[in-house]
Chain A
């Protein structure tokens, strides 16, 4: 209250300046006259009374000035004066202003852009109503070996979903979902689209109303009932042109007509999944067993319920789940007790963001350091400028300007610079954000939500002011206290350089080198990480010439498993016949394709297993003959599959090298051994051992893998064949990726069956690049930051040295005149620069040692304190610093003694 009173009183005083002056005059005059009047009454002559009144009162002008001060008029007045003066000073030194503004624009712009991304991805709540109540039903199962390394933990089974959904106390609604694909036919070309299959409760939990139509309802989840589907906004626009009459139409997905009941709004994603169709899961309740852990759980907590309470609620329901369902006759439902299933639900936001936060915070930190360097640079420029103004400042101090007033004047100038840089920085950041969204890894979560909002602008304003304060305070404090006499006496006649005068600038330059060192080391570590990743053999070769594409043959299109295999075989033959193709094959899933393949336990005939323990789970894949040869995956021992074996349903199998070593010691010992998945399955003979494949990205350990033939017999009783229906075709060709080649490929597929859509048509190089995208994104960002730091840091050193040289011209002239060797002068200057660089590098070493530890999670195959990187960066920085000194040093060497002395 009182605060506003004061502001108001000051504002009034300033606004009605002349009236206040008039009133003040009148008031004081009244005082003097009243005093005089009283004296006259006591008998003093009027003339004398007036004189006495004035003497008693003291300095009228001083009193007035103090009154103005009391009202805060002076503060505001002089602030305007400072602003005007600051603007004039900036205008008078355009070179300085342009360089400083550019530096700040770059620094603030880059920081705003990165903050915009951090804010959009990490800080803003998810795009759902009351998003803080949403959780992912994550659970761990340390007892289920194999599943335990899984980043996703133990997914939910349908029976688990029913138990949780019906018996819980902690959730408003709860559901499960899984991402998949479907073939849509009858619209244009056959097309494979992305689907999310959901149970009841998922849309209710997310709480986002449909753009039009309605949500999928519990009635739509009844198996055998009318089949329904919802569209995403994008798909609705793309396929129906945004026509509102699309609701109610039928869409043929996987050869089955489904009625469109609604469209979800623009920008709606299911957790992190982008999709075209929402399809009901429609579980057949009567046929469910305990197992089938393949679904992501999502739920909305009741208000006030904590995740820990919800965890306890889920834990309570696990025994109910085991008692309510079974895996079939003669199985023990309580076998899952050995899995030690532990609910560990987490906020949905964490699930969506995943490990992106590591990268983004590291990038934010490095860009922040660049800002520090930029500030140091501007501070250095300001120091030079203020030094040139020292005489003026001294005169002002001598005339009675207070220290505070001088500091404020200098600060106002630097704050103006900061705001100027900030304003231009926002424009720069706008472009930067667009660049970041384009550059950002496709798997960066919430990429589409990235934008600059009010919080980002607030950040920019704050950053501008803070940086203005930071680089302004250094020269302001240094020079505001200059001894007037000293400065007046010595300015203009610079003797040889005094150490004192340049210490601040040298310290700043060394600080810049230190910061640049830290950034360059971080960038260097990312380069080393990238090299290490490149050295890893992923399990395929020459990815550029490996074309991959996915084709799915639903059983609504082709019922008999053997015909599925015949069609796939036909496609492989057609593909192999395309000119320029060396070989072709297919597999149920290529490495790094970004979705899950099935996992299960296997039993070897020569091993003994106890009844109550489930052996470790292995990754299962199904392959065609020629696949390994095509992909370039080495067969370490034994041999690959043949088509004859496939069609004759020979019980053969291949295993990965690490699995062979784990079970039988050596790859060759595995050949001829027998294994199976479950007791009613015939024993399969191991015919080949395959090199390890980096299934989940080059950083991740290769999982133990079993390769089954694409067509298998007697799986679920005699005559019951099983064929893999969705496969990735792999084609080795020099022409991979070219448009003409893709036409040939399409033709090859469609000449076998014209209704088959081709999905995810890529080269393996693209798949690989995407899997190392996180690393390359970080590399590019740190590279940019490191580059900026290097340039700014070098400019800093160059600035200090060349300024010193210009100050010492006279001294150099005398030295040369007295017979100093020019080489010695050169050495002297270089030594000064080298000293700064060395000090910077030593400080930087300490800083980098402490800070690079924070990026350990981003590194691969290289230690955070990698000596090679540290030494290389140190050498690089010192060399570049010497180079930056060399130019001014040469100038020093060539000083003409006569000219230098005459000049003074």
Chain B
């Protein structure tokens, strides 16, 4: 396992969850795996904080849940993105990209430019 894991930036977990379920319905554990897989294990996610985040997102109506069956025939709760969640993800992603550009721009600036 790669030991150079980064801690998640504050407030980005919600966005990552939305992104993860946007690719298809997942249960909580699946979401965890999906995020780790996409990030190539470079992100460290506190498992304990995953579920409160899921409950919060569902409470706000961005994801919905239903009980289904897992790959190994166990009962599991699956989450899917709602229409409102899709819009939310889009605006969050745009905001994030803009922010990243600005920060990158600042960090790359040279003394001549300032």
- Chain A residues near B (Cβ < 8 Å): 1-2, 5-6, 9-10, 23-24, 26-28, 30-31, 33-35, 37, 56-60, 62-63, 66-67, 69-72
Q: Choose one: B28, B47, B56; the contact of A27 (CB below 8 Å).
A: B28
Pair A71/B59 contact, Cβ less than 8 Å: yes
Pair B29/A30 contact, Cβ less than 8 Å: yes
Bits for B39-78, please: 1 = Cβ < 8 Å to A, else 0. Answer: 0000000111101110110111100000100101011110
Q: Knowing A30-B27, A30-B70 are in contact, say whether A67-B55 is a contact too (CB < 8 A).
A: yes
**Residues of the B chain whose Cβ atoms lie less than 8 Å from the Cβ of A1:** 61
* Complexed CA–CA distance, A67 and B49 (Å): 9
Pair A58/B46 contact, Cβ less than 8 Å: yes
Pair A9/B28 contact, Cβ less than 8 Å: no
Pair B74/A30 contact, Cβ less than 8 Å: yes
Pair A2/B29 contact, Cβ less than 8 Å: no
* Complexed CA–CA distance, A664 and B13 (Å): 99
Pair B75/A30 contact, Cβ less than 8 Å: yes
Pair A67/B75 contact, Cβ less than 8 Å: no
Pair A31/B29 contact, Cβ less than 8 Å: yes
* Complexed CA–CA distance, A72 and B52 (Å): 12
* Complexed CA–CA distance, A59 and B56 (Å): 18
* Complexed CA–CA distance, A377 and B52 (Å): 45
* Complexed CA–CA distance, A60 and B51 (Å): 10
Pair B59/A9 contact, Cβ less than 8 Å: yes
* Complexed CA–CA distance, A27 and B76 (Å): 7
Q: Choose one: B47, B49, B52, B58; the contact of A9 (CB below 8 Å).
A: B58
Pair A59/B48 contact, Cβ less than 8 Å: yes
* Complexed CA–CA distance, A71 and B29 (Å): 20
Pair B48/A63 contact, Cβ less than 8 Å: yes
Pair B52/A63 contact, Cβ less than 8 Å: yes
Pair A6/B61 contact, Cβ less than 8 Å: yes
**Residues of the A chain whose Cβ atoms lie less than 8 Å from the Cβ of B67:** 23
Pair A31/B28 contact, Cβ less than 8 Å: yes
**Residues of the A chain whose Cβ atoms lie less than 8 Å from the Cβ of B77:** 23, 26-27, 30
Q: Knowing A34-B29, A34-B70, A35-B29 are in contact, say whether A27-B51 is a contact too (CB < 8 A).
A: yes
Q: Is B84 an interface residue (CB 8 A)?
A: yes
Determine the residue in chain A with the shortest Cβ distance to B76.
A30
Q: Choose one: B28, B47, B61, B70; the contact of A5 (CB below 8 Å).
A: B61
Pair B59/A62 contact, Cβ less than 8 Å: no
Pair B48/A2 contact, Cβ less than 8 Å: no
Determine the residue in chain B with the shortest Cβ distance to A33.
B74
Kindly identify, within residues 65 to 96 of chain B, every residue whose CB is under 8 Å from any CB belonging to chain A: 67, 70, 72, 74-77, 84
SS class of chain B's interface: helix, strand, loop or mixed? Answer: helix
**Residues of the A chain whose Cβ atoms lie less than 8 Å from the Cβ of B58:** 9
Pair B55/A70 contact, Cβ less than 8 Å: yes
Pair B29/A28 contact, Cβ less than 8 Å: no
Least distance between A118 CB and chain B CB atoms (Å): 44
Q: Knowing A5-B61, A6-B60 are in contact, say whether A58-B52 is a contact too (CB < 8 A).
A: no
* Complexed CA–CA distance, A57 and B48 (Å): 5
**Residues of the A chain whose Cβ atoms lie less than 8 Å from the Cβ of B84:** 2
Determine the residue in chain A with the shortest Cβ distance to B62.
A2
Least distance between A14 CB and chain B CB atoms (Å): 13
A-B contact count (CB 8 A): 74
**Residues of the A chain whose Cβ atoms lie less than 8 Å from the Cβ of B46:** 58
* Complexed CA–CA distance, A34 and B30 (Å): 9
**Residues of the B chain whose Cβ atoms lie less than 8 Å from the Cβ of A62:** 48
Pair A63/B75 contact, Cβ less than 8 Å: no
* Complexed CA–CA distance, A631 and B112 (Å): 104
* Complexed CA–CA distance, A764 and B51 (Å): 86
Pair B52/A26 contact, Cβ less than 8 Å: no
Q: What are the 9 closest A-B residue pairs judged by CB atoms, nearest first?
A: A58-B48, A66-B52, A70-B55, A70-B56, A5-B61, A67-B55, A34-B29, A63-B48, A57-B47
Determine the residue in chain A with the shortest Cβ distance to B58.
A9
A28, A34, A59, A72: residue with the most chain B Cβ atoms closer than 10 Å: A34
Pair B61/A2 contact, Cβ less than 8 Å: yes
14 further contact pairs, Cβ within 8 A, besides A56-B47, A67-B51, A71-B55: A2-B61, A5-B60, A6-B59, A6-B60, A9-B58, A9-B59, A9-B61, A27-B76, A30-B76, A31-B28, A31-B32, A31-B51, A59-B48, A70-B53
Least distance between A102 CB and chain B CB atoms (Å): 43
* Complexed CA–CA distance, A10 and B56 (Å): 11
**Residues of the B chain whose Cβ atoms lie less than 8 Å from the Cβ of A69:** 52
Q: Choose one: A6, A35, A70; the contact of B52 (CB below 8 Å).
A: A70
**Residues of the A chain whose Cβ atoms lie less than 8 Å from the Cβ of B53:** 70
**Residues of the A chain whose Cβ atoms lie less than 8 Å from the Cβ of B47:** 31, 35, 56-58
Q: Choose one: B29, B52, B60, B72; the contact of A67 (CB below 8 Å).
A: B52
Q: Knowing A5-B60, A30-B29, A56-B47 are in contact, say whether A37-B52 is a contact too (CB < 8 A).
A: no
* Complexed CA–CA distance, A75 and B61 (Å): 19
Could you jot down 10 A-B contacts, CB within 8 Å? A2-B60, A27-B77, A28-B51, A30-B77, A34-B74, A58-B47, A63-B49, A70-B52, A70-B59, A71-B55
Bits for B8-35, please: 1 = Cβ < 8 Å to A, else 0. Answer: 0000000000000000000111001000
B59, B76, B84: residue with the most chain A Cβ atoms closer than 10 Å: B59
Determine the residue in chain B with the shortest Cβ distance to A23.
B77
* Complexed CA–CA distance, A829 and B78 (Å): 72
Q: Choose one: B51, B70, B72; the contact of A63 (CB below 8 Å).
A: B51
Least distance between A464 CB and chain B CB atoms (Å): 32
B28, B61, B67, B84: residue with the most chain A Cβ atoms closer than 10 Å: B61
* Complexed CA–CA distance, A31 and B70 (Å): 11
* Complexed CA–CA distance, A26 and B32 (Å): 17
**Residues of the A chain whose Cβ atoms lie less than 8 Å from the Cβ of B27:** 27, 30
* Complexed CA–CA distance, A70 and B50 (Å): 12
Least distance between B62 CB and chain A CB atoms (Å): 9
* Complexed CA–CA distance, A27 and B55 (Å): 12
* Complexed CA–CA distance, A71 and B58 (Å): 9
**Residues of the B chain whose Cβ atoms lie less than 8 Å from the Cβ of A2:** 60-61, 84
Least distance between B24 CB and chain A CB atoms (Å): 17
**Residues of the B chain whose Cβ atoms lie less than 8 Å from the Cβ of A9:** 58-59, 61
Determine the residue in chain B with the shortest Cβ distance to A53.
B47
Least distance between A832 CB and chain B CB atoms (Å): 53
* Complexed CA–CA distance, A23 and B76 (Å): 10
**Residues of the A chain whose Cβ atoms lie less than 8 Å from the Cβ of B76:** 27, 30, 34
**Residues of the A chain whose Cβ atoms lie less than 8 Å from the Cβ of B60:** 2, 5-6
**Residues of the B chain whose Cβ atoms lie less than 8 Å from the Cβ of A5:** 60-61
Pair A72/B51 contact, Cβ less than 8 Å: no
Least distance between B103 CB and chain A CB atoms (Å): 30
**Residues of the A chain whose Cβ atoms lie less than 8 Å from the Cβ of B55:** 66-67, 70-71
Determine the residue in chain A with the shortest Cβ distance to B27.
A30
* Complexed CA–CA distance, A134 and B107 (Å): 71
* Complexed CA–CA distance, A30 and B50 (Å): 14
**Residues of the A chain whose Cβ atoms lie less than 8 Å from the Cβ of B74:** 30, 33-34
**Residues of the A chain whose Cβ atoms lie less than 8 Å from the Cβ of B51:** 24, 27-28, 31, 63, 66-67
Least distance between B85 CB and chain A CB atoms (Å): 11
**Residues of the A chain whose Cβ atoms lie less than 8 Å from the Cβ of B61:** 1-2, 5-6, 9
* Complexed CA–CA distance, A252 and B74 (Å): 99
* Complexed CA–CA distance, A71 and B53 (Å): 10
Determine the residue in chain B with the shortest Cβ distance to A31.
B29
Q: Knowing A30-B75, A31-B47, A58-B46 are in contact, say whether A72-B59 is a contact too (CB < 8 A).
A: yes
* Complexed CA–CA distance, A5 and B53 (Å): 17
Determine the residue in chain B with the shortest Cβ distance to A28.
B51
Least distance between B69 CB and chain A CB atoms (Å): 11
* Complexed CA–CA distance, A554 and B89 (Å): 90
**Residues of the B chain whose Cβ atoms lie less than 8 Å from the Cβ of A27:** 27-28, 51, 76-77
Least distance between A861 CB and chain B CB atoms (Å): 68
Least distance between A872 CB and chain B CB atoms (Å): 64
Determine the residue in chain B with the shortest Cβ distance to A63.
B48
* Complexed CA–CA distance, A1 and B82 (Å): 14
Determine the residue in chain A with the shortest Cβ distance to B33.
A38
B28, B47, B56, B77: residue with the most chain A Cβ atoms closer than 10 Å: B47
**Residues of the B chain whose Cβ atoms lie less than 8 Å from the Cβ of A35:** 29, 47
* Complexed CA–CA distance, A257 and B32 (Å): 99
* Complexed CA–CA distance, A26 and B46 (Å): 19
* Complexed CA–CA distance, A58 and B56 (Å): 19
